[in-house]
C-alpha cells in the first residue's frame, strides 16, 4: 500500500555529511508521521502538544550536532547559522502555541515543511559546500 508523503526526501537534500543527513531524514520522517495522523483525523490538542515536544527536542539535538560539526570546520558564518537556529526555535514556538490554542496542527506542519526544506537546501548546503570544498577542517565528519 502506497501512502503519499507530506515531504518526499530527495537526493538533492543530502549534504554529504552522513550524521546530518540522517538527522534531516529523521526530522522529515517525524513531520510526515504527524501529517499522516492529522490527515487521519487525529489533529487534536494532544497531538499538537506531542508534535511540539517532539520537534522541539529533536531540533535541539540536531542543532547542537550541526553547530558542533561546523564549529570544528571553522566555518566563517557559524554565528549567523546559530542565530538562524535560535530564530527558528522562537518562530516555531509561536506557531506551536497557536496550533495548540486553535487545536489546528496543519499550519504548524506547513510551516515546518517549508522551513526545513529551505533550511536544508539553502543554509545547510552552504556549510556543506564549505566543508567539502576543502576550505575548512573536516575532522572526519563525513
C-alpha grid cell, residue 140: 572526519
Specify the DSSP class assigned to residue 136. Answer: S
Domains held by the chain: number: 1
**142 belongs to a structural domain:** no
Q: What is the pLDDT of residues 46-58, one digit of tens each?
A: 777 788 788 889 9
**47 belongs to a structural domain:** yes
pTM of the model: 0.84
In sequence order, what are the residues at sequence separation of 6 or more whose Cβ sits closer than 8 angstroms to the Cβ of residue 77? Answer: 126, 127
Give the mean model confidence (pLDDT) for residues 14-41: 90
* pLDDT, averaged across the chain: 85
Q: What is the pLDDT of residues 74-110, one digit of tens each?
A: 899 999 999 999 998 888 888 888 888 888 888 888 9
pLDDT of residue 20: 93
Question: What residues make up the domain containing 104?
Answer: 15-132
**84 belongs to a structural domain:** yes
**8 belongs to a structural domain:** no
Amino acid at each position: 500500500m502506497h501512502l503519499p508523503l507530506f515531504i518526499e526526501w530527495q537526493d538533492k537534500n543530502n549534504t554529504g555529511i552522513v550524521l546530518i543527513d540522517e538527522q534531516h531524514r529523521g526530522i522529515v520522517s517525524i513531520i510526515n508521521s504527524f501529517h499522516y495522523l492529522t490527515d487521519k483525523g487525529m489533529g487534536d490538542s494532544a497531538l499538537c502538544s506531542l508534535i511540539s515536544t517532539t520537534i522541539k527536542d529533536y531540533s535541539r539535538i540536531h542543532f547542537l550536532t550541526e553547530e558542533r560539526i561546523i564549529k570544528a570546520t571553522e566555518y566563517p558564518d557559524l554565528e549567523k547559522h546559530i542565530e538562524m537556529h535560535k530564530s527558528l526555535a522562537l518562530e516555531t514556538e509561536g506557531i506551536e502555541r497557536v496550533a495548540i490554542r486553535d487545536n489546528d496542527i496543519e499550519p504548524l506542519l506547513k510551516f515546518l515543511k517549508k522551513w526545513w526544506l529551505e533550511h536544508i537546501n539553502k543554509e545547510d548546503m552552504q556549510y556543506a559546500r564549505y566543508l567539502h570544498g576543502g576550505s575548512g577542517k573536516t575532522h572526519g565528519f563525513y
